[in-house]
Chains A and B, each alone.
Chain A
């Protein structure tokens, strides 16, 4: 970085090249990210309709007041979003970590098994959803048959007609879909784990569990924190799986912030109101990011 106030001909030329090199990227992002966001912020104060050309009446904080005091679906959507996100992240972390540990050692067919374990992550979201609909189908779905033959249920569960069952089915499908991401990243991390540390711990008589907690987990901490942050944000924003299966039903049982926003905009055409939901949603994401960055910086200093 050149010192401020002192601009040599070279740093001026650098400045010009940097501007020219960044211009196309910034122009495109301005059109498809920042302009839409600015519109969202502005429209949250209006009662705009999606299909009307005009921007609607200015209503001040009316949308927000309605959202936070009168709307009965909104708290459900927030709660469902949190439940969906938390259980998906925890589930995918546990299964992904177990797989990574198991497949980092010497196992027959290791390369082949690793390859297979990655497939769910690459399957397009819509196809994950179609597969979920089929496997959790109440009459012919394989999930019900398997659970019954294991003696875990006596009667078939109509997964997508019952409120709790629907959310649970979606979480299971989502965990399945995202496990490979944790698996892949943790496996890569495990491979960079210095052998000497593990050996030294072994010499000190540390068992599997102690070695895991005192050597492996600290080594992977950086990776775990980053991918958990990514996963929380992705799941918080999930649209594909829920929209392509339940669209928020039955009776709002799988209604999340993204589904609720989308329904308000594209089914009720209440553009202004949907942007107000978006603003609250974005504030939630922002709060999470700030909190998370604090935690990460704190843990690095410690």
Chain B
């Protein structure tokens, strides 16, 4: 054991921490750096041998080309934005009453429905989408925003109900009781007292639903066939791993543009999601 006891050798300990930290950070950070660096290179320099670590002829031409909608970037972004925002709104509105019911109303069958909601989070997207495709063909929902919004709720809704239930649980039931004495029914309690108290949580869940919809590949790829209906993930996949595989510069400029909002949203949300998940883990 003595050999590992680095406490008595603070310098060695610090050096070891430093090396581990540096290696891990290099591993975690380098690809992001490489994405940004490559997005600033003229396309032929993206093929340079050996690769240029820092672009020698840095340019924003790739970004300009994306914003001029070469390769359909703006179309994909518009579709993705609309579908994701609609999904976020529907998800939050539908999961508010459900989350409240789980947290505050005693009812028969609660356990069974809880299991149902948790289980529905586990089903693989691929399994759902193969049969959703046939259903959508019959219902004429392929290549529609409505179809995508609905399909995205299959993963956003169970998660949202669960998170929102957690936020409502932080409100003591005495608050409900007091409101009932004043003659409020459950709906009035929810709308006038419950919702205003959990607004930050609702915002976090909405943003998270947006993020997951914005990033979703499987449903967006399988349930749309027209190029004009594609969102970012299938749009990029079919453009850059098919038709224009050699356009690395454009591809990474697009990637940076797409990643920026997700990073911004995530930084804003981090605290909520972590506290929710960790609390769940501690409570079991």
Q: By the criterion CB–CB under 8 Å, are B106 and A29 in contact?
A: no
Q: By the criterion CB–CB under 8 Å, are B105 and A28 in contact?
A: no
Chain B residues, CB < 8 A from A127:
35, 236, 255, 258-259
Which of the listed residues A124, A140, A237 has the most CB atoms from chain B within 10 Å of its own CB? A124
- The answer to whether A32 and B128 touch (CB under 8 A), given A21-B101, A184-B274, A209-B4, is yes
Q: Answer whether residue A218 sits at the interface, using C-beta atoms and an 8 A cutoff.
A: no
Which B-chain residue is minimally distant from A245 (CB atoms)? B241
Q: By the criterion CB–CB under 8 Å, are B135 and A39 in contact?
A: yes
Q: By the criterion CB–CB under 8 Å, are A131 and B34 in contact?
A: yes
- The answer to whether A17 and B255 touch (CB under 8 A), given A22-B97, A140-B49, A271-B130, is no
A215: min CB distance to chain B, Å: 14
Q: Answer whether residue A214 sits at the interface, using C-beta atoms and an 8 A cutoff.
A: no
Number of interface residues of B (CB under 8 A): 99
Q: Answer whether residue B210 sits at the interface, using C-beta atoms and an 8 A cutoff.
A: no
Q: Answer whether residue B203 sits at the interface, using C-beta atoms and an 8 A cutoff.
A: no
Q: Answer whether residue B77 sits at the interface, using C-beta atoms and an 8 A cutoff.
A: no
Q: By the criterion CB–CB under 8 Å, are A135 and B31 in contact?
A: yes
A72-80, A97-105, A161-169: which one contacts chain B?
A97-105
- The answer to whether A36 and B128 touch (CB under 8 A), given A14-B106, A135-B31, A300-B284, is yes
Chain B residues, CB < 8 A from A14:
105-107, 186
Q: Answer whether residue B218 sits at the interface, using C-beta atoms and an 8 A cutoff.
A: yes
CA distance A265 to B105 in the complex (A): 43
B178: min CB distance to chain A, Å: 15
Chain A's interface size range is 35 or more
Q: Answer whether residue B215 sits at the interface, using C-beta atoms and an 8 A cutoff.
A: yes
- Select A134's contact among B4, B38, B187, beta carbons within 8 Å: B38
Q: Answer whether residue A153 sits at the interface, using C-beta atoms and an 8 A cutoff.
A: no
Q: Answer whether residue B58 sits at the interface, using C-beta atoms and an 8 A cutoff.
A: no
CB-contacts of A81-121 with B (<8 A): 95, 98-99, 102-103, 105, 107, 113, 115-121
Chain B residues, CB < 8 A from A126:
215, 217, 232-234, 236-237
Q: Answer whether residue B278 sits at the interface, using C-beta atoms and an 8 A cutoff.
A: yes
Chain B residues, CB < 8 A from A252:
none
Q: By the criterion CB–CB under 8 Å, are A240 and B233 in contact?
A: yes
B21: min CB distance to chain A, Å: 4
Q: Answer whether residue B120 sits at the interface, using C-beta atoms and an 8 A cutoff.
A: yes
B105: min CB distance to chain A, Å: 5
Q: By the criterion CB–CB under 8 Å, are B281 and A227 in contact?
A: yes
Q: Answer whether residue A147 sits at the interface, using C-beta atoms and an 8 A cutoff.
A: no
Q: By the criterion CB–CB under 8 Å, are A40 and B17 in contact?
A: no
Q: Answer whether residue A203 sits at the interface, using C-beta atoms and an 8 A cutoff.
A: no
Q: Answer whether residue A295 sits at the interface, using C-beta atoms and an 8 A cutoff.
A: no
Q: By the criterion CB–CB under 8 Å, are A40 and B127 in contact?
A: yes
Chain A residues, CB < 8 A from B56:
none
CA distance A184 to B269 in the complex (A): 12
Q: By the criterion CB–CB under 8 Å, are A185 and B130 in contact?
A: no
B90: min CB distance to chain A, Å: 8
- Select A124's contact among B4, B13, B215, B281, beta carbons within 8 Å: B215
Chain A residues, CB < 8 A from B190:
21
- The answer to whether A11 and B106 touch (CB under 8 A), given A17-B101, A25-B161, is yes
Give 7 new A-B contacts, CB below 8 A, not counting A24-B98, A125-B233, A129-B237: A116-B28, A118-B266, A139-B49, A179-B27, A180-B28, A207-B2, A209-B1
- 10 pairs of A and B residues whose beta carbons are closest in the complex: A207-B5, A21-B97, A18-B107, A237-B124, A102-B21, A21-B101, A124-B215, A36-B131, A17-B186, A25-B98
